[in-house]
Structures are given as C-alpha cells and as structure tokens.
Amino acid sequence: MSSTVSFPFLTVLDFRFLTVELSKLPWRTYIRHDNPVAAALLSKMGYNEDEKVEVKKEFLRMLTRLELDEAKQRLLFGFFETYLRLSDEEEIRLRDEVKTMEEKEAAKVMELIVSYEQKGMEKGIEKGIEKGMEKAKLDVAKRMLAKGFDADTIHELTGLPLETIEQLKP
C-alpha cells in the first residue's frame, strides 16, 4: 500500500508500507527473538485454540528473558492479555506446564503470574471500595432527603452531583 501527499507542483510525501497480517504469521518463529514487540504481538499471531496456553507460557518466558522494567512489562502484559485471555481451566493448565519447566526459569515465570494476579486483585478491591463508598454516599443522601435536607446542602456534604440527588427524591 502507499500514501501520497502532494500539491500540483510538489510531492511532499510519498510513503509505501507493507501490510503485515499477524494472524498469518507462525507464532513459534518469534519466541526465540529477544524483542518486546514480538513478545506482545504473539497474542495476535496465528495459533489455534489448543495452543493458547502454550502461547501464553512462551510469552511469559520471553518476558522473563527480556528483563524489562516493571512499567514496560505491565504495558506488554496488558497488550497481550487484551487479545489472549485464558479461561480458569486454561490458567490451571498454564501453571501445571510452568511447573514442568527448568526450576530457575519456572520460578521467574511463576513470580510474574503471581505478581499480575495480585495486581488484578488489588485493582478489583480498589474498584469494590470505590463502589461501596459511592453506595454509602447515596444511602446518606437518601436519609438526608428523608430528614428534609435540601439538595444543595446534600451536594455540599456528600459531593454527589445535584442531578443524582434530584433523582433520589421520592
């Protein structure tokens, strides 16, 4: 494909690029590359459903081999997980396969898995706390309305938007 930006008297930009269809690339070809982009893109390459666990295992092995800082690891992991999610059963299979790896490498990969699971749980807990706090504010606002407080006072004390408070009125 190509793209050109030009005026009648001058071509400013003439750009040609190749289309890469990741789903047609064999993922096994890229697992020995020490390239973070190749690692992240494994999740978009050609694999079948039966290979999902193996693809993720190889991705985690690549991640440990690359020795990236935590921010870069999280970025790659997030991208990978967006396109390749394992079921609970597949996650158990992944753990079993990791246990069969060489001990030192298995420890590093398992550390990654546990680390990302913990981060996911912490995020879930944070969201739960936020939802709980929002629900508590709504409950307080309802009780304040029942006691005759006006919407402006409730807004000032709870921080809830006036529209939300108006919707709570019976």
H or E element at residue 169:
none
Contact 42, 50 (CB under 8 A): no
Each residue's pLDDT tens digit, 106-162 = 888 887 777 777 776 777 788 888 888 889 989 899 999 999 999 999 998 889 999
Using a cut of 0.85, tell me whether the model's pTM lies above it. no
pLDDT band at 163 (very low <50, low <70, confident <90, very high): very high
Instruction: Retrieve residue 12's tokens.
Output: 């400013």
The CA distance from 42 to 123, in Å, is 26
Instruction: Retrieve residue 42's tokens.
Output: 């494994």
Closest to 98 in 3D by CA, of 85, 86, 107: 107
Q: What is the CA radius of gyration of the chain?
A: 26
End-to-end CA distance of the chain: 61
pLDDT band at 164 (very low <50, low <70, confident <90, very high): very high
Q: In this predicted structure, what is the pLDDT of residue 123?
A: 77
